[in-house]
Every structure is written in structure tokens, then in C-alpha cells.
């Protein structure tokens, strides 16, 4: 097992290097830089060029990359031009927000997906299954950003049940109970909106696993032992179908990253996704490359997590 | 010189391991097998699952890479030949075990059977169709069925299609890997009879691979018994069935169910005796690794894997 | 008279194909006695597995008519919870492929233990563990303490089938149904498993229904044999009679198509035509008649029934009296009968 994990982790290193180069080069290719927006009648273009030269922005890309990478490895992601503060600090607050949003979304995804997937798989090709499959098709077909806007309009503005922006009510003392509840309250609507849409893949995956497991020979064996239908489902079918779902977790993380970019912007939730879009529009590309890199790392770690979970839960893989 | 000569054939598969997936060991699937097969005869290769019998067959025809050893067919060395347009490929064909999965379900019978023809012979559409119809007739299927798909046939008929494909190029040697194991007895009889018929008609030589000793006895002139990649015994059908020398062969022969219920008790007793003998004399017949020794001749036709005397 | 354990009366098991029900087991009656091995022989598609599944109540989508009387209970009419009390307790079952029939994610101990737990809720965990160990030893698994904690894929085919047998006999059932128990195994393993089943039968005094297509296995194991063709039984006899004096054309054809290890034959007998599929089963007249077209139509009955020709020897249809193989002369036929 550990051999597998070590090998799998080692494979990640070249993946990360390629990813970082790609992100850096793409950042460089973007038109303009942090100073382009400052061009105005009262600014001397020659002065801007001077600053560029000073900052080393005219050096060949690989030199700039090496400088950047050197910083990254020491935990220094550079300085934001617009916020005039270290990127690490800027990200620090937001990464926590995004993390809790993701956790809440994941939990809600499973709360919705597991009962629906089980019902759909157990009673496949009945009206229940068709209803649930119908829902997951709608989830599949509805664009997340439109759905999120509708949710925000309905529950946030029209009904006023949920706050419409921010991650916490201003003025509360961090660490108090009110503060935590306020945090939770703020992330609930974005998390529900995202979970309702992204859960379709987990429902369908679970449904297909169950339909598949139902037809296995060992299910007949279980019935021949005298196990009741409920026990056959709980002990044999569910257990064997939920394991692959556990492994699916890692891939959900990748999906969450994409979703959070929309969600955080629509709900004005100060997380990494919002920061990403902001940094693009402001040409704040030290922030941009840093955020993209972190997203990339999260995806790769998600895939790693999937493989490791699968190798832990499945004895057939565990042995090797 | 015999028709097919396999000399000290070895097929080793690497086992990957460690963090970097290096080759740490080898599975010796076939470990020093020699076969010599006369023209027009049927040679039976017997063994239990994992004995290496199928790997041997596949290595001869070039579907498995040969680690060392030689395969000589009709005087030419065909060791590790490429399975493309060589003369040897044309002359050696294979019949597979499962008539359900070895035929492409999306292809019509005419395309399945004419596939080898297209690779080797430049025939016009019309000639091709005629050849396929002749072949179908030869294997006892109606020539009208050329436009059907494999799923429209029964198991026995499908195996006949497999045979028709194998004999399309008028091969001289057919390697049959468990050709009847997936079939019911009456269908099995059909296929076995038919294989015997075309053997006479087309002067075919068979390498017949099977775990079923009843079928082997019915079909084969000479027999080789494999265990863990090595031969334990080789001889004529008579040598093997009436005078088995190696304890493994004895056990195998004793395990064949007898079709006469009156002999049941005697048979069971005999099996127990052989089992006792097997347990007692295991070390006389297998080396420290539990593998068979080198073959030693006990008569002109009969070879048994025994430790060297002295 | 032997002690009746299971009595099947007019059982019809039908499957729905498109809009119609087709009987895979067609109006079949049969008894299984205590301490006997009843072999049910036939080729694939004859309905023998459908019969085994009916006895266990394992069909989920089939329509079942008729009675399956086990002691005084009618399995065919049981509710699911009543059925669950019988399955695994009074009737155990062994399947063909031990690899796919065992749960790949469960340790051996848990799989066997489940059978015990289901029928004896009071049994303590340690008692259950002991009993599992005991069972594994009984079916001849070496290093049982170690095997208990293994997963199915870590065992060889023969060992897996022994685990299946341990599971089936865990609650000392009176009836054991073995559906092609050795088909997936090598010949030396097959003989070991058959010997094991035989040994257990004597120990448990159980009745065994052995479903197989292998006549060699029948000759080795059975006390009585029922030959099935197209959903019906065509011949029943004790094993010695059946092999010495087979009557029904199908039985005789089957026997002749096996490569016989004793006598040298160049050509094996081939049954003409193919086993008809479920939708195309002839439902009237002698179902085997299409496979023996050279026998005159008048030889068959209109509504063939299973009739006793000798005590304990039953044959369906009258065509057996007029049947001979095409290459066989009439004189030989006379000598035979």
C-alpha cells in the first residue's frame, strides 16, 4: 500500500512542475500588465518602462519563472500590486472561506446524492427512478451561474431569508459563537445552490453502481443464505457500491473548484474564486498565477486522494 | 525431422514491483518445453489452469513473446515471427476457446471468414464470396448464412465459423486452444467429429490444448502433460492413460470421472490410494521449488520427469 | 418406501419475454428423498438451473405455479420472510462459480458467519467464530485460522468452492442444492470437491440435488438421475439403470456423445439440430421429435407423459420403443431391449 502511495505521490512532482510552467507562461501571455491600467496623462510612460525594467519584467520568461518559483518554494508568492500586500496574506483569509464553502457543498452533495442514488438504484426503472433521473438531467442541463442567480434573487432578495453577500456580518468578534453562526449562515445559500446542481453526477454514479452490484452472483448467494431484502441491500449492495463513491470524492474536489468561481462571484463571497476573477480584471497577475497554481494543486491532490482512498477501501487493490 | 519442432521453449513474464515499477522477478509461464509433432497427427497438450499450456500454444503462433528456445515449422525457424503476411502465419492458424467472444459481434460472417483471405490473397469480391460459401459448406453451415451476424448462431455453429476462419487459408497446422470447453456435450461431439473429418480431408496437423482428458484421449495420438510451466510426462495416448509413470499424471488420470456408476467405489478407493502415494512420494517427483525435473526416457515413446539417477 | 424430503408437484416456472410468459420449467413433478443424491442432467437451456432457483425461491421476476413441498411447507407459496427462514437453514445452495458467488469485499469469516447469524441471533460472536473455524476445518481448508481473515480473491478456485460449501452446510441443512458445483474447476480439484460433498452427505444425512451437464459427475455421484430436456423431465431412473439401460432417445443420445474413456470410437454421436430457445420451444407433442426426424411421427404420443416402465424407472413418450440410431441396425436394437 505505502509503495503505491509513494509512487503515486512521486508522479505528482513532474505534474506540478509542468502545471506551474504552464500557468506562469499563460500569465505572461496575457495582454498588458499591472501598470497598463495606470497609464494616464499625468504618468510618464518612460517612468513606467523604468519600473518594468526594475521589476525585471523585461527579462526572458525562464529567468522570471526561476525567480518566481524560487519564491514559491520558500512560501513567498510575491506582492499584489493592487492591494499592496503580500499575496500569501491576501490568500490566507480567503482560502479559509473557500475551504469551508467546499466542505459545506460536499456534505450537502452527499446528503442529497446518497438517498436519491440509493432509491434510484434500488427501484431502477420505476417511477421513483425516473423522477430522480429526471432531476439529475435538469441538474446536468442547468448552467450553474443561472441557477445561482435565481437562488440569490429568490431566497436572498425577494424572500430575504439569506444574506446576499459577504462571508460574515461585519463587526462580530472572531471566535465567538455568533461569529461562527454568521459564517455558516453566509455560506449556506451558496453551498446549497452549488450542491443542488453538482450532485447529479454523484447520484448517477451511485445509481449505476447499485444497479450493477444488484446483478452480481454474490447477491444471489446472500439471498440463498436467507438474508432479507433489506439486509441484502445494506450489507452487500450498499457496502459494495459506496466504496467507489468514496473514491469519487477526489474528483468532486476538482468539480468544486470550477463551481466556486461562479458561486463566489455571484454571491459576493470573498473566497479564492472571487479573488481569481478580480485579479484577472485588475491584471494583478502575481495574485492570478498564485491562485491558479493553488487550484491546480488542489485538483492534483484530489486525484491523489481518490487513488489512495480506493486502494485503502478495496482489498483487491490493497494487497498490492 | 518432424513437422513442428519446439525446442526448449521458455516464455517468462516480468513482474513489476517497487516504487519505480522495475522488473523484480519473472513468472516462468513456460519453462523449457520441447514438442515434436508429426504431420497429420494430433498432439494433445494437457494441464490444469495456470500450467502454461495455452501460453505455449500462443507462443508458437507468435501471440506471446518467446524468451528463449526455438520453434521450427516444416524446416523453417519461425521463432517470434511477426504475425503479418509471412508464409508461416498462413500455414498455422488458431481456434479459440470461447466462440462467443472470439468472433467480432459487429461483423457479418462473410467478413469474419474472409478477413484472413483479404490479408493474404488478392481476390475479387465475387471470388471471395464464393470461397466463403465453400468454406461454410465445408463446416456444415448453409451458404446463405454469410450475411448473418455471430449472435444469430448457436454455440456449436459459432465454433464452426471460428474453424472456417481458421481453415480459410488452407493451413497445415491448427492450434486449438480448448476448442470445445465452452460447449455442451452434444455440441462438443459435433465439433470434435468435424475436426476429425477435416483433418483427414485437408491433411491437417493439430496441436490440441485442453484440460479435459476425455476429449484429449478421444482426439490425440501423442500427449504431453504440463505442470507449472514444465513437462511432467510425454508419450502416446496409450503410455499416458494405461501406463502413467509420474505421480502427477497418475493423479490426473485417476481424477477423470468414470462413466460407469458400477465402478464408483473402486474408483474412489483408487483415487485415495493415488492421493496417499502423491503425498508420500511428492519429493521424489518434484524439486525443492515444487517443479518437475527434466524428462527421462522410459521407453522409445515415453518420457517422464524424474530426478537424474546417481 | 424412502423418506420424502422434497416433493415438487406440477411446477411451472415462466419468464416474461416481451409480452408473453414462456415456461422454462414446464409442469414438472419430482421427489427428493432423504440421504440421496438426485442428479438433474441436461444441456444448457433445458431448464435445470431454473428448477434449482425455483426450489430456493431465488427467481425475482419469474412466474411460478405449482407446489414445492418441503416437509409440510409449500415453498412456492411462501412470503419472503418465511422463505428467508428456510433458505440457508433447511436448504443450502452451492453455486457454479465460487469467485463471483462470494462477496469480494468481505472476509471469509464474515461471509460464513452471516449464514450462522441470520438463523441464530443468540449465538455469541466467539461461538460463531469457533463454528466458522470448525466448518473450514470440516471442508478441508488448511490453516483455517488464517483463511478466516482472507478475502475471496486471495484463495484458489478449489478453496473458494470449499468456502461456498462451508457456507451452505453451516446450519446443517437437510437439503443441499448444488448447481454445477465443479464446472469451473480443474479435474483434480473437481474430484476432491465431489469426494467432499459425498463425505458430508453421509455425515449430515442430507438430500442433495446435483445439477450438472457432466455425465461423468453423474456416474460418480448420483443415486437417482432425472434427465431434463426443454423444461420437462424425459427420464428418471436410479443411476445404474440409467447408465446400463437408458431408454429415452435423448438420454441415449447424450450418453453416446460423450468421449468414452473405455471404448475406442472414431465418431461421436451428434444430436441433430439445436436446443430450441425458450420462445421457440415446441409446446405440443414430443419435444424431442424434431431432433430425431428419422423416427416416424406415429411413434410419438400426442400428449407425452412420464410413465413408469419398471419400478422407479420412468420415461416420457412412447418414441423410445421405436428409436434406434441411424447407423445402428434393427437387430442390435432388439438385443438392447
Contacts with C43 from chain B: Cβ below 8 Å: 184-187
Which chains lie within 8 Å of chain B at 3 or more CB pairs, if any?
Answer: A, C
Residues B248 and B288 in one domain: yes
How does residue B309 score in pLDDT terms, banded at 50, 70 and 90?
A: low
pLDDT tier at C334, thresholds 50, 70, 90: very low
Q: Tell me what the mean pLDDT of segment B237-263 comes to.
A: 91
Instruction: Tell how far CA B58 is from the center of its chain.
Output: 9
The residue among B235 and B83 whose pLDDT is bigger is: B235
Please name which of A203, A191, A208 lies closest in space to residue A137, comparing C-alpha atoms: A203
What does the block give as the cell for A277?
476573477
What does the mean pLDDT of chain A come to?
Answer: 82
Q: Give the pLDDT confidence of C10-41 residue by residue, as tens digits.
A: 999 999 888 888 899 999 999 999 889 999 99
Give C128's contacts (C-beta < 8 A, 6+ positions apart). Answer: C113, C116, C117
Pair B216, B237 in one domain: no
CA-nearest of B244, B248, B241, B243 to B292 is B248
Please report residues of B whose CB lies closer than 8 A to that of A7.
Answer: 19-21
DSSP letter for A283, please. Answer: T
- Which of B183, B199, B228 is a domain's end point? B228
**Rounded Cα–Cα distance for residues A300 and A250 (Å):** 9
**How much of chain A, in percent, has pLDDT values that exceed 70?**
93
| C328 has a pLDDT exceeding 70 | no
- What would the grid cell of residue A280 be? 484577472
**Residue B286 and residue B309 share a domain:** yes
B306 membership: H or E segment, kind and range: none
Percent of chain B having pLDDT more than 70? 95
Q: Over the Cα atoms of chain B, what is R_g?
A: 21
- What is chain C's Cα-based Rg? 21
Can you tell me the mean pLDDT for A238-260?
A: 81
- Cα→Cα distances A27→A21, A32, A246, A292, A295, Å: 10, 10, 35, 10, 15
Residues B186 and B258 in one domain: no
Residue C30: the pLDDT is 93
Q: Long-range pairs for B259-265 at CB < 8 Å and ≥24 separation?
A: B259/C215, B259/C216, B259/C219, B259/C243, B259/C255, B259/C258, B259/C260, B259/C261, B259/C262, B260/C219, B260/C243, B260/C262, B261/C219, B261/C220, B261/C222, B261/C239, B261/C240, B261/C243, B262/C240, B264/C219, B264/C220
| Cβ <8 Å between A224 and C87 | yes
Q: Are C235 and C248 in contact (CB under 8 A)?
A: yes
Q: Is the pLDDT of residue C311 over 70?
A: yes
pLDDT of residue B18: 65
Both B208 and B241 in one domain: the answer is: no
Provide the shortest C-alpha distance from residue B8 to chain C (in Å).
Answer: 26
How would residue A218 be classed by pLDDT, with cut points 50, 70 and 90? very high
Sign of CA dihedral A126, A128, A133, A135: positive
- Residue B112 sits in the same domain as residue B242: no
- Residues in contact with B206: Cβ distance below 8 Å, sequence separation at least 6, in sequence order: B41, B42, B43, B173, B174, B175, B176, B195, B199, B219
Q: Are residues B266 and B176 in the same domain?
A: no
Q: Name the neighbours of A, counting chains with at least 3 Cβ pairs within 8 A.
A: B, C
Higher pLDDT, B178 or B101: B178
Q: Is C271–B218 a contact, with Cβ atoms under 8 angstroms apart?
A: no
Strand, helix or coil at B95? strand
**Looking at residue C336, what is its pLDDT?**
43
Q: What is the pLDDT of residue C168?
A: 93
Torsion sign, CA atoms C320, C323, C328, C331: positive
Q: Is the same domain home to C256 and C174?
A: no
Q: Domain check: are C60 and C171 in the same one?
A: yes
pLDDT in tens, A183-208: 888 888 888 888 888 888 889 999 99
Task: Determine, for residues C101 and A218 on separate chains, whether the beta-carbon distance falls below 8 Å.
Answer: yes
| Parent domain of B175 | 4-228
**Confidence check: pLDDT of A247 > 50:** yes
Specify the pairing of strand C224-229 against strand C37-41: parallel
Domain that holds residue C213: 4-222
What average pLDDT does the segment A70-87 reach? 78
Please compute the mean of the pLDDT values over residues B47-74 and round it to a whole number: 89
What CATH number did the domain enclosing B88 receive? Answer: 3.40.50.300
Per CB-CB distance under 8 Å, the chain A contacts of B21 are 7
Mean pLDDT in residue range C265-275: 79
Please check whether residues B222 and B264 belong to one and the same domain. no
Q: Which range (A251-260, B35-44, B231-240) has the least confidence? A: A251-260
Q: What is the mean pLDDT of residues A246-268?
A: 82
Residues 6+ apart with CB under 8 A from C130: none
CATH number, domain containing residue C65: 3.40.50.300
Same domain flag for C67 and C200: yes
Q: How many domains does chain C have?
A: 2
Same domain, C238 and C131: no
B136 shares a domain with B104:
yes
C-alpha cell at C1: 418406501
- Per the CB < 8 A criterion, the answer to whether C181 and C96 are in contact is yes
Give start and end residues of each alpha helix (H) in C176-238: 187-204, 215-221
The answer to whether residues B208 and B71 belong to one domain is yes
Do C213 and B185 lie within an 8 Å CB cutoff? yes
Split into its structural domains, chain B has a count of 2
Beta-carbon neighbour count of residue C265 at 10 Å?
A: 11
For residue C335, what pLDDT band results from cuts at 50, 70 and 90?
A: very low
Mean pLDDT, to the nearest integer, of C106-125?
92
> Which residue out of B46, B47, B180, B186 would a mutagenesis test of the C interface target, given it has the greatest number of C Cβ atoms within 10 Å?
B186
Q: Are residues C32 and C135 in the same domain?
A: yes
Q: How confident is the model at residue A92 (pLDDT cuts 50, 70, 90)?
A: confident
Q: Does C99 touch chain B (CB under 8 A)?
A: no
Cβ atoms of residues C315 and C248 within 8 Å:
yes
Q: Kindly state whether residues C262 and C154 are assigned to the same domain.
A: no
Length of chain C: 337
Query: Is C328 touching A (CB cutoff 8 A)?
Result: no
Q: Is the pLDDT of residue A112 over 80?
A: yes
**Sequence-ordered list of residues with C-beta below 8 angstroms from that of C289, at least 6 positions apart, any chain:** C282, C295, C297, C300, C319
In chain B, which residue's Cα lies nearest the Cα of A3?
B19
Residue C93's pLDDT is 95
Sequence ranges of the domains in chain A: 91-318
- Claim to verify: residue C237 and residue C110 sit in the same structural domain: no
Residues C32 and C167 in one domain: yes
Quick one: pLDDT band at residue A38, thresholds 50, 70, 90? low
* Domain identity same for B138 and B282: no
Average pLDDT estimate for A16-43: 73
- Interchain CB distance below 8 Å, C114 and A218: no
User: Is the Cβ pair A223, C103 closer than 8 Å?
Assistant: no
Q: Identify the chains in contact with C, defined as 3+ C-beta pairs within 8 A.
A: A, B
Q: How far is the CA of A107 from the CAs of A110, A142, A198, A299, A302, in angstroms?
A: 5, 21, 12, 18, 16
Say which residue the cell 441484502 belongs to.
A232
Q: Does residue C252 sit in the same domain as residue C179?
A: no
For C69, the grid coordinates are: 413441498
Calculate how close chain B gets to A311, using CA atoms only, in Å: 15
C102 CB neighbours in chain A (<8 A) are: 218, 221
Q: Let me know whether C170 and C216 are in one domain.
A: yes
Q: Which of C198, C222, C246 is the last residue of a domain?
A: C222
Would you say residue C316 has pLDDT above 90? yes
Q: Are residues B164 and B272 in the same domain?
A: no
Residue B304: strand, helix, or coil: strand
Assigned fold of A91-318: MetI-like fold (1.10.3720)
Confidence of residue B84 (pLDDT cuts 50, 70, 90): low
The confidence band for A111, taking pLDDT boundaries of 50, 70 and 90, is very high
B251 has a chain C CB within 8 A of its CB = yes
Phi, psi (deg, nearest 5) at residue B288: -60, -30
Amino acid at each position: 500500500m505505502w509503495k503505491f502511495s509513494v509512487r503515486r505521490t512521486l508522479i505528482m512532482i513532474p505534474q506540478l512542475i509542468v502545471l506551474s510552467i504552464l500557468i506562469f507562461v499563460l500569465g505572461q501571455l496575457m495582454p498588458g500588465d499591472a501598470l497598463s491600467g495606470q497609464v494616464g496623462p499625468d504618468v510618464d510612460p518612460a517612468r513606467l518602462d523604468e519600473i518594468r525594467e526594475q521589476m525585471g519584467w523585461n527579462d526572458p520568461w525562464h529567468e522570471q519563472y526561476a525567480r518566481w518559483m524560487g519564491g514559491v518554494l520558500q512560501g513567498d508568492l510575491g506582492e499584489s500590486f493592487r492591494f499592496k500586500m503580500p499575496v500569501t496574506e491576501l490568500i490566507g483569509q480567503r482560502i479559509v472561506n473557500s475551504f469551508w464553502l467546499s466542505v459545506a457543498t460536499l456534505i450537502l452533495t452527499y446528503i442529497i446524492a446518497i438517498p436519491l442514488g440509493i432509491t434510484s438504484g434500488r427501484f431502477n426503472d420505476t417511477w421513483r427512478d425516473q423522477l430522480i433521473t429526471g432531476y439529475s438531467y435538469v441538474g446536468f442541463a442547468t448552467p450553474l451561474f443561472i441557477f445561482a442567480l435565481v437562488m440569490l434573487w429568490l431566497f436572498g432578495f425577494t424572500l430575504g431569508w439569506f444574506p446576499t453577500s459577504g462571508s460574515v456580518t461585519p463587526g462580530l468578534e472572531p471566535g465567538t459563537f455568533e461569529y461562527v453562526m454568521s459564517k455558516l449562515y453566509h455560506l449556506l445559500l451558496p453551498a446549497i445552490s452549488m450542491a443542488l446542481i453538482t450532485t447529479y453526477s454523484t447520484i448517477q454514479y451511485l445509481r449505476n453502481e447499485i444497479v450493477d452490484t444488484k446483478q452480481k452472483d454474490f447477491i444471489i448467494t446472500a439471498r440463498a443464505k436467507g438474508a432479507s431484502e433489506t439486509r441484502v441491500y445494506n450489507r452487500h449492495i450498499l457496502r459494495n457500491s459506496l466504496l467507489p463513491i468514496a473514491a469519487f470524492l477526489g474528483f468532486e474536489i476538482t468539480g468544486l473548484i470550477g463551481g466556486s468561481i461562479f458561486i463566489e462571484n455571484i454571491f459576493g463571497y470573498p473566497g479564492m474564486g472571487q479573488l481569481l476573477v478580480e485579479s484577472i480584471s485588475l491584471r494583478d497577475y502575481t495574485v492570478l498565477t498564485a491562485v491558479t497554481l493553488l487550484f491546480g494543486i488542489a485538483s492534483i491532490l484530489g486525484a491523489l486522494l481518490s487513488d489512495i482512498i480506493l486502494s485503502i477501501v478495496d482489498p483487491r487493490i490493497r494487497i498490492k | 525431422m518432424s513437422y513442428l519442432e519446439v525446442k526448449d521453449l521458455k516464455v517468462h513474464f516480468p513482474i513489476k514491483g517497487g516504487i519505480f515499477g522495475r522488473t523484480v522477478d519473472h513468472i516462468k509461464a513456460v519453462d523449457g518445453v520441447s514438442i515434436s509433432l508429426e504431420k497429420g497427427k494430433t498432439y494433445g497438450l494437457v494441464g490444469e489452469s495456470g500450467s502454461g499450456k495455452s501460453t505455449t500454444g500462443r507462443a508458437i503462433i507468435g501471440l506471446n513473446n518467446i524468451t528463449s528456445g526455438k520453434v521450427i515449422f516444416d524446416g523453417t525457424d519461425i521463432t517470434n515471427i511477426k504475425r503479418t503476411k509471412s508464409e508461416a502465419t498462413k500455414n498455422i492458424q488458431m481456434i479459440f476457446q470461447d466462440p462467443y467472444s472470439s468472433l467480432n459481434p459487429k461483423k457479418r460472417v462473410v467478413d469474419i471468414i474472409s478477413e484472413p483471405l483479404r490479408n493474404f490473397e488478392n481476390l475479387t469480391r465475387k471470388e471471395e464470396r464464393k470461397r466463403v460459401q465453400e468454406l461454410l459448406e465445408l463446416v456444415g453451415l448453409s451458404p446463405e448464412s454469410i450475411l448473418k451476424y455471430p449472435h444469430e448462431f448457436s454455440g456449436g455453429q459459432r465454433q464452426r465459423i471460428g474453424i472456417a476462419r481458421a481453415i480459410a487459408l488452407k493451413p497445415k497446422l491448427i492450434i486449438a486452444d480448448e476448442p470445445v470447453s465452452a460447449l455442451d456435450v452434444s455440441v462438443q461431439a459435433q465439433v470434435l467429429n468435424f475436426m476429425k473429418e477435416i483433418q483427414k480431408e485437408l491433411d491437417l496437423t493439430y496441436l490440441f490444448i485442453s484440460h479435459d482428458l476425455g476429449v484429449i484421449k478421444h482426439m490425440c495420438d501423442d500427449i504431453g502433460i504440463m505442470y507449472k510451466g514444465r513437462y511432467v510426462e510425454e508419450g502416446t495416448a496409450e503410455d499416458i492413460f494405461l501406463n502413467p509413470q509420474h505421480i502427477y499424471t497418475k493423479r490426473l488420470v485417476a481424477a477423470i470421472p468414470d462413466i460407469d456408476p458400477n465402478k464408483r467405489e473402486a474408483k474412489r478407493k483408487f483415487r485415495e490410494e493415488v492421493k496417499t502415494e502423491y503425498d508420500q512420494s511428492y519429493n521424489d517427483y518434484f524439486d525443492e521449488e515444487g517443479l518437475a525435473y527434466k524428462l527421462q526416457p522410459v521407453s522409445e515413446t515415453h518420457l517422464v520427469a524424474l530426478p537424474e539417477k546417481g | 418406501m424412502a423418506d420424502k424430503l422434497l416433493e415438487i408437484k406440477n411446477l411451472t416456472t415462466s419468464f416474461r419475454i416481451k409480452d408473453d410468459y414462456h415456461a422454462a420449467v414446464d409442469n414438472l413433478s419430482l421427489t427428493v428423498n432423504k440421504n440421496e443424491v438426485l442428479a438433474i442432467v441436461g444441456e444448457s437451456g433445458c431448464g435445470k438451473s431454473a428448477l434449482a432457483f425455483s426450489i430456493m425461491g431465488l427467481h425475482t421476476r419469474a412466474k411460478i405455479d405449482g407446489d414445492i413441498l418441503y416437509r409440510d411447507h409449500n415453498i412456492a407459496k411462501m412470503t419472503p420472510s418465511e422463505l428467508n427462514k428456510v433458505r440457508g437453514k433447511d436448504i443450502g445452495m452451492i453455486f457454479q462459480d465460487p469467485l463471483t458467488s462470494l462477496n469480494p469485499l468481505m472476509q471469509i469469516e464474515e461471509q460464513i458467519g452471516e449464514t450462522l447469524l441470520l438463523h441464530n441471533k443468540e449465538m455469541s460472536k466467539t461461538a460463531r467464530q469457533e463454528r466458522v473455524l470448525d466448518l473450514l476445518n470440516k471442508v478441508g481448508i488448511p490453516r483455517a485460522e488464517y483463511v478466516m481473515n482472507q478475502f475471496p480473491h486471495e484463495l484458489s478456485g478449489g478453496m473458494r468452492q470449499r468456502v461456498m460449501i462451508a457456507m451452505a452446510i453451516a446450519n446443517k441443512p437437510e437439503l443441499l442444492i448444488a448447481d454445477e458445483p465443479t464446472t469451473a474447476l480443474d479435474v483434480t480439484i473437481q474430484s476432491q470437491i465431489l469426494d467432499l460433498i459425498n463425505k458430508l452427505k453421509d455425515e449430515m444425512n442430507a438430500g442433495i440435488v446435483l445439477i450438472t451437464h457432466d455425465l461423468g459427475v453423474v456416474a460418480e455421484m448420483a443415486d437417482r438421475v432425472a434427465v431434463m430436456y426443454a423444461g420437462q423431465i424425459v427420464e428418471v431412473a436410479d443411476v445404474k439403470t440409467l447408465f446400463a439401460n437408458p431408454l429415452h432417445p435423448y438420454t441415449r443420445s447424450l450418453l453416446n456423445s460423450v468421449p468414452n474413456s473405455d471404448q475406442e470410437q472414431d465418431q461421436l454421436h451428434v444430436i441433430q439440430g439445436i436446443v430450441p430457445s425458450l420462445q421457440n420451444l415446441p409446446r405440443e407433442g414430443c419435444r424431442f421429435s424434431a431432433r430425431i426426424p428419422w423416427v416416424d411421427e406415429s411413434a410419438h404420443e400426442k400428449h407425452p407423459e412420464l410413465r413408469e416402465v419398471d419400478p422407479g424407472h420412468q420415461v416420457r413418450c412412447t418414441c423410445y420403443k421405436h428409436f434406434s440410431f441411424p447407423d445402428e441396425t434393427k437387430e442390435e436394437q432388439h438385443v438392447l431391449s
